[in-house]
Homo-oligomer: A and B are copies of this chain.
Amino acid sequence: MPRAYGATLPDWVFDELAAVPGALPSVEERMALVHRLAARNPLEGSGGPFAALVVNTADGEVVSAGVNLVLSSGLSAAHAEVVALSLAQLRVGTWDLGAQDAADRELVVNWRPCAQCYGATMWSGVRRLVIAGEGPELEELTGFDEGPMREDWAEQLRRRGIEVVSDVLREQAVEVFAGYRRVVAERGLTVYNARGATAPASDTPSKGAVVA
């Protein structure tokens, strides 16, 4: 049995980060970078069209970046949010990004997190979740399953001290998903469900379930 697991960001992510200022004052600037990373990720073969940043809310400093690394790492949990949160925690030196006296930090993602990353966000210590949007477009355009969410998902975050900001560059997010759909069709990629082999009840794959 292996003793350790992990995931590594590809070099092109750092190229993208080097092309923008180290501080991004507005949420729109932060989300625009997330959209660029999300659009490029499937073309680079790391995983699905999803990206995330951890940012200091007040001054816009980019603490960490993440993209979906399910295919490149071989780990189903390596969604963009988990990657960004984990790298931020290593950089800051604690598993709690909201530790006392810390600057308020936020997670910026190009759609409402899936069921797993919803919980991961809750336990990470970020004080704010900034998303491009929520709704059926992600599942309809990409075929990915977001998983079951409670109706009061945002209120549950707020109760734990995490603000939710939505509809930041929403149309651009949908464009990224539509672009992904075109690429899947053009390149003949197969979008399939991990559970599809023997479990007919499920009809959409998880965020990692896309392979060539």
Contacts and interface: CB of A to CB of B under 8 A. Distances in A.
Chain copies in the assembly? Answer: 2
Interface string A101-132: 00000000000001111111011110100000
Contacts of A94: 74
A77 B85 contact: yes
Interface residues of A, number: 74
Contacts of A206: 122-123
The majority secondary structure among interface residues of chain A is: loop
B116 A76 contact: no
A87 B1 CA distance: 7
A156 interface: yes
Contacts of A117: 116, 119
A207 to B, nearest CB: 7
Contacts of A70: 95
A199 B119 contact: no
14 contacts: A1-B14, A1-B65, A2-B90, A3-B14, A4-B8, A77-B82, A77-B124, A100-B198, A115-B118, A122-B147, A145-B160, A149-B150, A159-B201, A162-B195
